């Protein structure tokens, strides 16, 4: 399911989004609530320009509940309406249509003034792979219609799916590339599972994860892997060695790294948000 992004590939994906952009009233920019900045496409602003947009922080169930709202506010301060949802468990999906109606209220009012009674809002989901575009689409449409396929650049006739009383969704989400040129962003994406394999070594990502959890949620590391406070004070490579031993994996650091990544992706270390609000200014 991992896409290798090549320049030609990226150009095609961008073009497809640009073509479909003309068909919709509003864009749903889907990001992962654990990495609300890292999981954004770097040129989305440039691609969609002034088109109305709702930023949807999906997978809010996996992100730190204490900061979800702060991130929503961060986007709102950038004049980008935003909401946090959990599409997997159907949490707060209704808010999507309500927000879209609110954002497009002036346009709807103009149409009503012209005599249009039930104006339909047309929208499309856009985002990098694995943020949950297909899940949101499927949940809103309530049928398994969306192809989860990650095939940017594959063109077919767009179809509209009824996704609410006055909301229609384009059946194909726009798939754009992540910010892979930045190492730290790459590790964050790898840790959350947006980048699934081979672009990173598991131990590199594991070292990042150990640093992050030691700093932000030390108790969880201690509890899950039976580590002591003294272990957490070790230099990170030494901590990885400790962890490997604690997992009974002798000196197989790769396997221990992979276990740690698996646990982080599956939420076994609790809910966390890798992007810090404080990073936002330099990051974005």
Binding site for ligand G4P (CB under 6 A): 58-59, 61-62, 86-88, 127, 129-135, 148, 150, 193
CB neighbourhood size of 183 (10 A) = 11
CB 246 within 8 A of CB 226: yes
SS3 for 94? helix
Question: Strand, coil or helix: what is 26?
Answer: strand
Radius of gyration of the chain from its Cα atoms, rounded to whole angstroms: 20
Query: By C-beta, is 164 or 178 nearer to ligand G4P?
Result: 178
Q: Which is nearer to ligand G4P, 131 or 140 (CB)?
A: 131
Nearer to ligand G4P among residue 152 and residue 164 (C-beta): 152
Output the known binding site for GTP: 58-61, 130-135, 174
**Pick 131 or 264: Cβ nearer ligand G4P:** 131
Q: In terms of CB distance, is 131 or 227 closer to ligand G4P? A: 131
Of 27, 267, 10, 31, which Cα lies nearest the Cα of 130?
31
Q: How many other C-beta atoms are found inside a 10 Å radius of the C-beta of residue 149?
A: 11
Provide the minimum distance between the beta carbon of 108 and ligand G4P in the complex, in angstroms, as a whole number.
Answer: 28
Q: How many residues does the chain have?
A: 284
Taking CB atoms, the residue at the shortest distance from ligand G4P is 132
d(CA 137, CA 117): 26
Q: How far, in Å, CA of 119 to CA of 141, rounded?
A: 18
Annotated binding residues = 58-61, 130-135, 174
DSSP state of 120: P
Structure tokens at 262: 């698996």
Q: Is 233 helix (H, G, I), strand (E, B) or coil?
A: coil
CB of 25 to ligand G4P, least distance (A): 21
Our CB check for ligand G4P shows the closer of 81 and 267 to be 267
Q: How far is the CB of 24 from ligand G4P (least distance, A)?
A: 17
94 C-beta neighbours (distance < 10 Å), count: 12
Question: What minimum distance in Å lies between the beta carbon of 205 and ligand G4P?
Answer: 15
User: Beta strands 53-58 and 82-84: pairing type?
Assistant: parallel
Min separation Cβ 61 and ligand G4P, Å: 5
Q: Least Å distance between CB 131 and ligand G4P?
A: 5
């Amino acid at each position: 399911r991992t896409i290798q992004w090549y320049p030609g590939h990226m150009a095609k994906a961008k073009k497809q989004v640009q073509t479909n952009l003309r068909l919709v009233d509003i864009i749903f920019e889907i990001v992962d609530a654990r990495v609300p900045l890292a999981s954004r496409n770097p040129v989305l602003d440039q691609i969609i320009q002034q088109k109305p947009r709702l930023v949807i922080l999906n997978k809010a169930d996996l992100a730190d509940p204490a900061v979800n709202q702060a991130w929503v506010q961060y986007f709102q301060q950038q004049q980008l309406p935003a909401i946090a949802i959990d599409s997997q468990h159907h949490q707060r999906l209704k808010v999507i249509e309500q927000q879209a109606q609110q954002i497009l209220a002036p346009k709807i009012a103009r149409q009503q003034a012209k005599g249009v009674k039930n104006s339909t809002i047309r929208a499309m989901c856009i985002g990098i792979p694995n943020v949950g575009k297909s899940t949101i689409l499927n949940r809103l449409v309530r049928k398994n219609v969306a192809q989860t396929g990650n095939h940017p650049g594959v063109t077919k006739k767009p179809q509209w799916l009824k996704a609410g009383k006055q909301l229609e969704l384009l059946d194909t989400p726009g798939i754009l590339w992540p910010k892979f040129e930045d190492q730290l962003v790459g590790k964050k994406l790898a840790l959350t599972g947006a980048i699934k394999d081979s672009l990173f070594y598991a131990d590199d990502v594991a070292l990042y994860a150990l640093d992050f959890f030691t700093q932000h949620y030390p108790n969880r590391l201690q509890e899950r892997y039976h580590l002591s406070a003294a272990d957490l004070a070790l230099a990170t490579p030494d901590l990885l060695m400790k962890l490997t031993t604690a997992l009974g994996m002798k000196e197989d650091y790769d396997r221990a790294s992979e276990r740690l990544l698996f646990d982080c992706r599956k939420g076994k270390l609790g809910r966390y948000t890798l992007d810090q609000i404080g990073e936002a200014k330099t990051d974005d």
